[in-house]
Structure 1
Amino acid sequence: MSKYRIERDCLGEMEIPDNCYYGIQTTRMMGVSGCANLPVSFFPDMHKALAQIKKAAARANNKIGAMNDDIAEAIAQACDEIIEGKFADQFPLDMWQGGGYTCVNMNINEVVGNRANEILTGKKGSDRVHPNTHVNMGQSTNDTIPSATHLGMIARFDELVRELGLLSVSLRAKEREFKDVVKVGRTCLQDALPLTLGQEFGGYASVIERLKGQAVSMRAGCFEIVMGGSAVGTGFSAEPGYMDAFYAEISEQYGQTITPMKDLFDGFQNADFIVEVSGLVKKVAMTLSKISKDLRILGSGPRSGLMEINLPALSPGSSIMPGKINPTVPEIVIQISHQVAGNDVAISMAYDEGELDLNVWDATFYKCLFESFQLVNAELPILRKHCIDGITANKERCEKEANASIALSTVVAAALGYPLGVKVAHYCEKNNLSVKEAVVRMGLMTSKEADKLVNPMLMTNPKAAAQAVAEFKKEKHLI
């Protein structure tokens, strides 16, 4: 048996090692790429979605009488094998490619074609199944690659929604655990009105739940694709009935209705859905980063920082300072946000630079978007399991700082007027007193009244605080 086979394309012919399922066009592009040293198949979603598309197209063409039964079924079998994970080493192309990923489309056409031909004839080649004539029938790179990108995002959205949901559960558990831990609020990194640590974590839970809802809603856009548009949106080369048959087949494969975009010319010209998805993934990354920055501040210390919470100790934090522990997980999350933000900028530029009848910057869209998905989806369980779930509160320290805060003078302003509130704040600073001590010493309240009103926990409950202030004013004949 020969170790090589001869394959031909519009540029000539080439010897291809016979153990390879990819062919001449893939081989040509392997010789002029490799910038990233990272294959497109590093994120396998593209190739799995392309295999689904090729399978649906073959069966659709068979149903309308454009393709023989045996060829259609051989193509479908080859596609099923790819979907199962076989031939993963036959997709060697580098992530960065020109030509709108034409080479990626042809790579899978060649692998499917050679495998289908092998099923039918016992050998690779194009005796029965040709990569362009049969595997690519009724299609173009220009509709298969954008469609595969959309379909490939489905699993990534599902993972994102699941992990956001699990994180929100953990944050809600901390909200309940810390509901009685009163602390100083901070705005502009300055002391502000008190709140509970539980209220802070409840805010974190709420934004995660809101992002989860946005992801659920946005996921629907993955099921609108541009298959059937062929090269520029006209659908030229497809047989009559192909589009209806294709969408019936692809919907059956995914178990959910998949439809063509309302205007295929719009779909070819504009990749705004990719920009929208990237924006959401960036928003998740930025939100996780903001929460992580807060956790670093709240856990700073242990003696010279806030130290209101304890983060799980995962590893020594210094090669020279004994006992130092770093907030490693929050810092991972923050660094990931830097990369995701950069990816979003690249995607925005690629969208802006799409010209005329096709946006050809599929490599930028795919590499950057799926890298962002991978990073965010991977960091979510790490943040949850190795940080959030293990956080504990330093309740005594929080309460001490809350009671010492001059921001408690706000209750004086509410009960006795703003000018007196200012006087109390200045008196506290000058005499190194708490607000509760100051109002008693200044004769503004009795000890009993101060104990009731100048109470950080009371101030975390606006209804109860308003009622207490109203009763004080009534007793003092201020209203």
Structure 2
Amino acid sequence: MKTRIERDCLGEMEIDDASYFGIQTHRMMKVSGAAGYPVIAYPDLHRALFQIKKACAKANAEVGALDAQVAQAIVSACDKLLEGGYEKEFPLDMLQGGGYTCVNMNVNEVIGNLANEILTGHKGSDQVHPNTHVNMAQSTNDTIPSATHLAIAPRLDVIIERLQALHSSFEKKADEFKDVVKVGRTCWQDALPLTLGQEFGGYASLIARLIKKLQAVRPGCFELVMGGSAVGTGLGASSGYMQAFYKHISSDLGEKVSPQANIFDGFQNPDFFVTVSGLIKEVATSLSKISKDLRLMSSGPRSGFMEITLPALSPGSSIMPGKINPTVPEMVIQIAHQVVGNDVAIAMAYDEGELDLNVWDATFYKCLFENLQLVGEEILILKRDCIDGITANRDRCRDEAQSSLAISTVVAATQGYPLGVKVAHYAKEKGLTVKKAVLEMGLMTKAEADHLLDPMLLVDPEKMAQAIAEWRAGKH
């Protein structure tokens, strides 16, 4: 095995020359591994770091701080990494101390060795040093938080796009079910009728609102602390570097990237991660609430609510033939459990930042990107394997609507609340519908009852108000 010797502030080490990562990566590999999977399992941070290192090299060359040939080699190395195929060179475990200094140095080492190889034909630091050149004018303290900001944007874009598709699915179902009248339920008790389409229209409206919130937070992904170096003062950077960096990163990404209004605030307070996490939690718990509704409405198929039928995806029991479970809604609910837990961890990590830097980058990254991954995928599955295939059990829904004692509210609205209570009690005691109770009690004619107590009339507030006004006018 061919090896090379590398040195750092703790000494020297013999490194397998087949590896592009170096001594600092090796040191951290020996004292980590608790999570059991690497940071690059969610590759977004590394891709953002490659973009940042590329823009830094361009900026340092522009201001005369970095040799143009070295800068170009670093840019070329970053381009190679962005193309993919080097994932094994980033083996560090997801949970690390030191504010992900080891992650920054792992990236610096790989870029440095690739760049040195481009210039000399071999790995090493004789032409490109990971600290001196690749990390020029930078610190882990500005690169990691900035890369995390940039890394969030593509994930948000996926979630927004998939929510837009889910919104369309709910709107289609709202239209499909617009004439499916059913009983409403409050506190799990029978309430006034509404249509299944109105319920699904409510879901569509919720999704549209979530999309707007995510779109509103997206610009924050492109507000960075790059240029602040270790504590926000920018020590080590040449004059003009900061402006040059933001010019190049904006050009490379095709987005307007800018420094945060107060760099010191940015170093002290990564509240943006809390904001994003809160919105992702809101998406997850909203989808969970919808899924719980679907689970109830589809319960049965003979002794539950039985209002809708979900797509049958797999047998639901190892012992009971014919049982089908609401597997997709239950998956969505479980994901909400995990997302909420991760959001709590993110809030704790933000709360425990001290003085001039919050070092809990591993908590932010692991928990936030697990949530982004879970929510992004669940939206796709929920739409494709559940919502698009839902059918309405129309007869069942109408029978429920007609049998609800809450229809006695119409009597209360036309003839007073006390009489409405009497009708409800009479119908319950006799096992009648409200319509039959009203007829037996002689409170309305059949024509009046057929009109005023039609569940489809009750779901339209304008028509219902007009019908009540006409009835009252006819009695005076």
Tell me what 1:78 maps to.
Answer: 77
Query: 1:200 — aligned with what?
Result: 199
1:428 CA drift (Å): 0.4
Q: How does 1:11-410 map to 2 (within 5 A)?
A: 11-410=10-409
Residue 426 of structure 1, CA deviation: 0.4
Partner-residue secondary structure (3-state), 1:195: strand
What percentage of aligned pairs have identical amino acids? 68
CA distance in 2, matches of 1:128, 1:83: 22
Q: CA deviation at 1:316?
A: 0.3
Which letter does structure 1 place at the counterpart of 2:65? A
Q: Report the AA paired with residue 302 of structure 2.
A: R
TM-score (norm 1): 0.99
Question: For the residues of structure 2 that align with 1:87 and 1:442, how far apart are their CA atoms?
Answer: 82
- Helix, strand or coil for the counterpart of 1:220? helix
Once residues 257 and 399 of structure 1 are traced to their aligned partners in structure 2, the CA distance between those partners, rounded to angstroms, is 54
Tell me how far 1:369 sits from its aligned partner.
0.2
What letter matches 1:215 in structure 2?
A: L
| Residue identity in the other structure for 2:149 | H
- Give the C-alpha shift of residue 469 in structure 1: 0.5
Distance 2:268 2:132 in 1: 26
Letter in 1 for 2:203: Y
CA separation in 2, counterparts of 1:391 and 1:257?
A: 42
SS in 1 for 2:100: helix
Cα displacement (A) at 1:189: 0.3
| Counterpart position of 1:428 | 427
Q: How far apart are the structure 2 equivalents of 1:341 and 1:296?
A: 20
Could you tell me how far 1:86 is from its partner in structure 2? Answer: 2.9
Please report how far the alpha carbon of residue 87 of structure 1 lies from its aligned counterpart in structure 2 after TM superposition. 1.2
Residue 412 (structure 1) aligns with:
411
Q: Supply the AA of the counterpart residue of 2:428.
A: E
CA–CA separation in structure 2 for the residues paired with 1:70 and 1:393: 67
Task: Name the aligned partner's letter for residue 338 of structure 2.
Answer: Q
What is the Cα deviation at residue 393 of structure 1? 0.3
**What SS does the aligned partner of 1:99 have?**
coil
Report the residue type matching 2:363 in the other structure. T
What amino acid does structure 1 have at the position aligned with 2:181?
A: V
**Letter of the aligned partner of 1:18 in structure 2?**
D
Q: Which residue of 1 aligns with 2:8?
A: 9
Deviation, structure 1 residue 305: 0.2
The residue type equivalent to 2:368 in the other structure is: L
Amino acid of the structure 2 residue aligned with 1:82: L
Task: Report Cα offsets for 1:294-351 as digits up to 9, x if no partner.
Answer: 0000000011100000000000000000000000000000000000000000000000
CA distance in 1 between partners of 2:199 and 2:84 (Å): 45
Letter in 2 for 1:7: E
Distance in 2 (alpha carbons) for counterparts of 1:451 and 1:85: 69
Q: Which digits, 9 at most, give the CA deviation of each residue in 1:364-384, with x for residues without a partner?
A: 000000000000000001000
Q: Secondary structure at the match of 2:315?
A: coil
Two-structure CA RMSD over aligned residues (Å): 0.5
Structure 1: gaps (5+ residues):
none
Counterparts of 1:165 and 1:281, CA distance in 2 = 15
The whole-number CA distance in structure 2 between the counterparts of 1:409 and 1:378 is 45
Output the amino acid matched with 1:403: Q
Post-superposition offset of 1:285? 0.2
How far is 1:419 from its partner?
0.6
Q: Distance in 2 between matches of 1:374 and 1:297?
A: 27
Secondary structure of 1:79's counterpart equals helix
What CA deviation, in whole Å up to 9, does each residue of 1:388-421 have, x standing for no partner? 0000000000000100110000111111111110
Deviations 1:101-152 (A, max 9, x none): 0000000000000000000000000010000000000000000000000000
Find the aligned partners of 2:184 and 2:387 in 1 and give their Cα distance: 20
> What is the CA–CA distance in structure 2 between the aligned matches of 1:220 and 1:262, rounded to whole Å?
13
User: SS at 2:99's partner residue?
Assistant: helix
Partner secondary structure for residue 13 of structure 2: strand
CA distance in structure 2 between the partners assigned to 1:162 and 1:356 by the alignment: 38
Q: Distance in 2 between matches of 1:199 and 1:379?
A: 24
Cross-structure match for 1:473: 472
| Counterpart residue type for residue 355 of structure 1 | E
Measure how far apart 1:253 and its partner are: 0.6
- The aligned amino acid for 1:222 is C
Give CA deviations for 1:253-289 in whole Å, capped at 9, x if unaligned: 1111100001010000001100000000000000000
Q: Read off the aligned partner of 1:354 and give its amino acid letter.
A: G
Aligned length: 476
- Distance, in Å, in 2 between the alignment partners of 1:257 and 1:201 is 38
Please say if 1:447 is aligned against 2:446.
Answer: yes
- CA distance in structure 1 between the aligned counterparts of 2:408 and 2:248, rounded to whole angstroms: 69
Output the CA distance in 1 between the equivalents of 2:245 and 2:301: 63
Structure 2 counterpart SS, 1:108: helix
Q: Which amino acid aligns with 1:102?
A: T
Shift of 1:228: 0.2
The one-letter code matched in structure 2 to 1:235 is: G
